[in-house]
């Protein structure tokens, strides 16, 4: 506490997702008259942790805010991933529900930047499976767990390989880093033509769509529907 500048006699207030909106005004009022320190028990406040509503309210009230930077799981996982780091996007936690998770991934299917997600050990298998379904099983990715701790580990490979690794029941909070899509100069009509050529060669349409979509970083569902429309 002393290293953080917090006196042991300081009054403590809990701040979490269920009370942050109600408590923000109270804490801002205190901050206008005294010093307030926002501390998270794990991670950086406001980054997939409570604090955003409080900081926004403090900014609106004219409170001067400074930050004490600490370790970042996002940057640590990105740095050791071996994937492109020049441009990336942080997506927070993937949704818990299957349909919502797939919808989020579908919206990112054309994303060319490296993508970073937080995930729990209980859902990492489902998240990897959903990612493989949307981005293709051969997309490169990593999963880092227990970063900066004694049992820190990063698993690298294709999504298909990581799905098998997840079956070993790994423990610890995790960061999932996914390679971005490769840019394509082809327009959609050309991609549809490629799908129909593969189908004519003997592949089922779903298989042809999956192959072309993965190669070109486009949505499988959109390409599939357009390919069906082209056959009418």
pLDDT bin (cut points 50, 70, 90) of residue 4 is low
Q: What's the token pair of residue 60?
A: 């609106």
pLDDT tens string 148-164 = 888 999 999 999 999 99
**Residue 11, pLDDT above cutoff 90:** no
Q: What is the pLDDT of residue 72?
A: 86
d(CA 211, CA 198): 9
Asked if residue 107 and residue 31 are part of one domain, the reply reads: no
Last residue of a domain, one of 178, 207, 222: 178
CATH for 152: 3.30.950.10
Q: Containing domain of residue 224, as a range?
A: 188-230
Among the residue ranges 31-35, 40-44, 137-141, the one predicted with the least confidence is 40-44
User: What domain count does the chain have?
Assistant: 3
Statement: residue 138 has pLDDT above 80: yes
User: What is the crossing angle of helices 124-135 and 159-166, to 10°?
Assistant: 160
Judgement on whether residues 8 and 87 belong to the same structural domain of the protein: no
Q: Are residues 168 and 220 in the same domain?
A: no
Taking the mean position of all CA atoms in its chain, how far away is CA 229? Answer: 33
**What are the C-alpha distances in Å from 213 to residues 65, 148, 157?**
46, 37, 20
Question: Residues 6 or more apart from 131 whose CB is under 8 A from it?
Answer: 105, 139, 141, 159, 176, 178
């Amino acid at each position: 506490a002393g290293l953080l500048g917090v006196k042991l006699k300081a009054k403590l207030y809990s701040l979490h997702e269920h009370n942050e909106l109600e408590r923000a005004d109270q804490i801002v009022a205190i901050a206008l008259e005294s010093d307030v320190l926002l501390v998270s028990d794990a991670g950086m406040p406001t980054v997939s942790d409570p604090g955003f509503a409080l900081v926004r309210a403090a900014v609106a009230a004219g409170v001067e805010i400074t930050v004490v930077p600490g370790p970042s799981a996002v940057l640590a996982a990105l740095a050791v991933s071996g994937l492109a780091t020049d441009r990336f996007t942080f997506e927070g936690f993937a949704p818990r529900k299957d349909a919502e998770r797939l919808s989020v991934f579908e919206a990112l299917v054309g994303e060319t930047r490296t993508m970073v997600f937080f995930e729990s050990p209980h859902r990492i298998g489902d998240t990897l499976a959903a990612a493989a379904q949307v981005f293709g099983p051969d997309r490169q990715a990593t999963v880092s767990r227990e970063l900066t701790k004694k049992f820190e580990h990063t698993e690298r490979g294709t999504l298909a390989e990581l799905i098998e690794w997840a079956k070993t029941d790994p423990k610890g909070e995790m960061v999932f880093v996914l390679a971005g899509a490769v840019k394509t100069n082809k327009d959609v009509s050309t991609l549809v033509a490629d799908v129909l050529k593969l189908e004519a060669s003997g592949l089922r349409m779903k298989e042809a769509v999956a192959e072309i979509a993965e190669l070109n970083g486009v949505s499988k569902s959109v390409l599939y529907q357009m390919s069906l429309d082209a056959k009418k």
